[in-house]
Amino acid sequence: MIDFDAVLLAFDLLFSSFTPWLVVIPGILIGLVFGAVPGLQISMAMAIFLPMTLYMDFMQAMLFLTAIFTGGTFGSGVPAILMNIPGTSSAIATAFDGYPMARKGKHNQALGVALGASAFGVLIGYIILFVLIKPISMSVLKIGPAEMFAVILWGMTLIASLSGTFIVKGLIAGFAGLLIGTIGFNETGVLRGTLGSEYLLDGVPVIPAMMGMFAASELLRLVNTQYLVENEAARKVNIKLILQGFLHAFKYPVVLIRGSIIGVFVGAVPGVGSSVSNLLSYIETKRRDPDPLSFGRGNPKGVIASESANSTSEAGSMATLLALGIPGGGATAVMLAAFAMHNITGGPQFIREQTDVVYAIIFANFGQVFLLIALALMCLPVLANVVRVPMNYLIPSVLALAIFGSFGLVGNMSGPITVLVFAVIGWLFRRYNYSVPAAVIGVLLGSMAESSLLHTLQISGGQFSYVLERPITMAIMALLVLSLFGSKLMELLTKRSAVNS
Amino acid sequence: MKCKRIVYADLLVLLGLALFTSWYLYQAWSASSKIENLIFILPVAAITLLLCAFEAIKQLGSKTVNQAENEEQQESVLSVLPVMGLFAAYVLTLEWLGFDLGTVLFIAAFLLIQGERRPAWLVAYSLVFGALVALFFSNMLPYPMPMTFIATEY
């Protein structure tokens, strides 16, 4: 499975000269900034800096782009924790518990926990990639729309889990979100619910909708609050507490490892990737926890679950890019462009003939993890000062930032208008106890679920037996049923055996 | 009286969701009644409507208002509405005012509504923040943004 000669050559490629490493620190910093500013995306950073890679050799270009990827994946969790704005859809679940932690005055610990889980995720993800790059990429080829639907269905169960105390209202919010997610053209070219607006042809812009529902509606609710953290003593920024949080993440190895495994395999699925992996990891952690009600109220395990999964997804998406030449999302699509600029084509032949280069990229990411930790520990104390800004200054500043960001994401005024509309919907939902996270998950998964279900229908010709012939679909469905009812079934069986004996 | 108003407002939100679901289902059905178009929308809409009906019956049947206990119900709508109106005005006038001028005005107006009475501080913060953010985004984004003072191709 591992080619040891190629390993030696990879070390030689990386360490014979210091030059490839010169671009890593700027890369991570660019990624951190683009991830942390709502509206700027990792793929945008890569696209902006892509022309610079023309002047680099292939190895250096890959190190630069993966450094942006690594920095950006962690960076997107920072506004999710401090402002309830997930920088990307891969940080949605980070906001569920990260933001409540920040509001309780545990912003230092939350940032530290996120960093610890992210660093572990990247490291373990690339270790898995190093050992299993070929099997992972081959398994991706066996994944079709039926398997994708099964994974998305698993993600949709989160809607019920996030419904909170008002279950029926939570479900209504989630299902309405699913419908909103399908607005616009469907895969067969039928147009639905656009009200004649050309801005909605591609559907409701998901991330601006998320910014409106999560951040803007929450900020409107906090108009009468003095500070994000009410307790003045808890408002301090402390590097020791960030470090404490960093170490705290490693107290939950099961959560970390489960998140990483989900992240690497779901991350490898093109088009689904880290957007769903963080949700799956969160839901599984919540479901298996002895105190599931503490989730959504500032449980650090929620942050660990999400961050370990979304950062591991980077390795998963790199697996499909390197081994198959298929980009899983925007960031890997830009990397594919960098491949083309250096006359390299990803795929089985690339892996076979240039194994040393593949290994060098993987090893470079091990090094990047430690640089990420060092750079993030330097930047986080500055960013954490957000909690010390009075709310009358913070609210308009964050709202304005969200509006700029939403324009940046879409490229026209539909972004800011989406933020406004969903801010009002989110405020109404919060006021009347409809679950905002459930609605956001619905909007995110709606079109994905519809497309994969439609593709399954088209491929199967409407025959249900098609699903029974797909072992991976059946396995995912079995896992889903087990995760939903497994513990209750076990309880029932234990009770029955106790009664019998 | 207050409890009754809360129940009515709650029912109104529920009615809004049910109406949206029915309208969207009708729209989708009118666009195409083929299975390819309705395979996902029809079951999801049907479940949503059933849940809305269930919730409405539950709310009409209940004599106590649980929501009144919720602290969010105690927030003053009157204090949120001006801010929401200001935010709406900011977003809806951006295309005419530009992101630079619009943001400076929005921040200054927000600070004023929220009780900032130091004119120098109010002007300085809104100007510096608005200008910096507008400059940053206009330089970083690959497409032009509407601006009044910053040069743009919008």
What mean pLDDT comes out for the span A54-64? 88
Taking an 8 Å cut-off on Cβ atoms, the answer to whether B84 and A427 are in contact is: yes
Give percent above pLDDT 70 in chain A: 97
Q: How far apart are CA A310 and CA B11, in angstroms?
A: 38
- Distance CA(B140)–CA(A33), nearest Å, equals 12
Separation in Å, CA of A227 to nearest CA in chain B = 13
pLDDT score at B29: 96
Q: Is A249 within 8 Å of A306 (Cβ atoms)?
A: no
Q: Of residues B33 and A341, which shows the higher confidence score?
A: B33
Identify the top-confidence range among A156-160, A319-323, A332-336, B47-51: B47-51
Cα angle at A31 between A27 and A36, to 5 degrees?
A: 155
Chain length of chain B? 154
Q: Is the pLDDT confidence value at A258 over 60?
A: yes
- The answer on pLDDT for A380 being more than 80 is yes
In the three-class reduction of DSSP (H, G, I as helix; E, B as strand; rest coil), residue B26 is classed as: helix
Q: What percent of chain A has pLDDT over 90?
A: 32
Report the phi/psi class of residue A411: left, alpha or beta, with left for phi > 0 and alpha for psi in -120 to 50: left
pLDDT digits (tens, 9 = 90+) for A108-146: 999 999 999 999 999 998 898 888 876 776 777 777 888
SS (H, E, C) A118-138: HHHHHHHHHHHHHHHHHHHHH
pTM: 0.81
pLDDT tens for A148-191 read 888 888 877 777 766 667 888 988 999 999 999 999 999 889 99
Of the listed ranges A296-300, A344-348, A357-361, the least confidently predicted one is: A344-348
Contact criterion met (CB < 8 Å) for B141 and A408: yes
CA distance A80 to A440: 14
Read off the pLDDT of each residue in A304-317 and give the average, rounded to a whole number.
90
- Picking from A190, A191, A404, A434 by the largest number of B CB atoms within 10 A of its own CB, the best residue to mutate is A404
Task: Find chain A residues with C-beta within 8 A of B95's C-beta.
Answer: 413
Q: What is the CA radius of gyration of chain A?
A: 22
For residues A258 and A302, what is the distance between their CA atoms, to the nearest angstrom?
A: 12
Q: What number is the average pLDDT over the span B104-118?
A: 93
Q: Are A85 and A398 in contact (CB under 8 A)?
A: yes
B88: its two tokens: 């709406």
- Chain B CB within 8 Å of residue A465 CB: no
For residue A420, give the nearest of B52, B91, B137 by CB distance: B91
Of all helices (H) and strands (E), which one includes residue B128? helix B119-140
Q: How far is CA B31 from CA A26, A158, A198, in A?
A: 50, 31, 16
Q: What value does the mean pLDDT take over residues A293-311?
A: 93
d(C-alpha A115, C-alpha A335), whole Å = 24
pLDDT tops 70 at residue A282: yes
pLDDT: is A478 or A300 the higher one? A300
Q: Which residues of A touch B150 (CB under 8 A)?
A: none
**Of the candidates B108, B85, B133, which has an alpha carbon nearest to the alpha carbon of residue A407?**
B133
Residue A358's closest CA among A313, A316, A318? A318
Cβ neighbours for A214, distance < 8 A, ≥ 6 positions apart: A84, A85, A86, A95, A426, A436, A437, A440
Mean pLDDT, rounded, of chain A = 87
Domain edges within chain A: 4-469
Q: What are phi and psi of A182, to 5 degrees?
A: -100, 0
Using alpha carbons only, what angle is made at residue A205 by residues A199 and A206, rounded to the nearest 5 degrees? 165
Considering only A257-271, A363-377, A411-425, B101-115, which range has the smallest mean pLDDT? A257-271
Q: Decide if A149 contacts A456 (C-beta within 8 A).
A: yes
Least Cα distance to A369 among A125, A132, A136 occurs for: A125
Helix (H, G, I), strand (E, B) or coil at A102: helix
User: Using CA atoms, how far apart are residues A45 and A41, in angstroms rounded to an integer?
Assistant: 6
Give, in degrees to the nearest 5, the angle at Cα A62 between A340 and A112. 140
Mutate to test the interface with A, among B5, B12, B14, B17 (most CBs of A within 10 A): B17
More confident residue, B95 or A328: B95
Q: Which of B37, B87, B125 sits opposite A423 (nearest CB)?
A: B87
Question: How far is B73 from chain A, CA to nearest CA, in Å?
Answer: 6
Q: Kindly give, in sequence order, each residue whose CB lies less than 8 Å from that of residue A368, ignoring residues fewer than 6 positions away.
A: A24, A28, A63, A66, A67, A70, A122
DSSP H/E element including A146: helix A145-161
Cα-based distances in Å from A111 to A247, A252, A380: 11, 16, 7
Q: Which whole number is the average pLDDT over B77-82? A: 84
Query: In this predicted complex, what is the ipTM?
Result: 0.91
The size of the A-B interface in CB pairs under 8 A is 167
A167-181 and A145-161 helices cross at what angle (nearest 10)? Answer: 140
- Quick one: pLDDT band at residue B4, thresholds 50, 70, 90? low
Segment of A214-223, A323-332, A482-491, B98-107 carrying the highest mean pLDDT? B98-107
Compute chain B's Rg from CA coordinates. 23
Residue A484 has pLDDT above 80, yes or no: no
| pLDDT surpasses 60 at B65 | no
Residue A204 Cα to chain centre, angstroms: 19
For the stretch A14-31, pLDDT in tens is: 888 888 888 999 999 999
- Supply the pLDDT for residue A18: 81
Among A202, A209, A220, smallest CA distance to B88 is for: A220
pLDDT tens-place string over residues A72-94 = 988 989 989 998 888 778 888 99
Does position B70 have pLDDT exceeding 60, yes or no? Answer: no
Supply the DSSP string of A294-329, one letter for each residue: GTTSS-HHHHHHHHHHHHHHHHHHHHHHHHH----S
Q: pLDDT tens for residues A403-432?
A: 998 998 888 999 999 999 999 999 999 888
Q: Which residues of chain B make contact with A156, given a CB cutoff of 8 A?
A: none
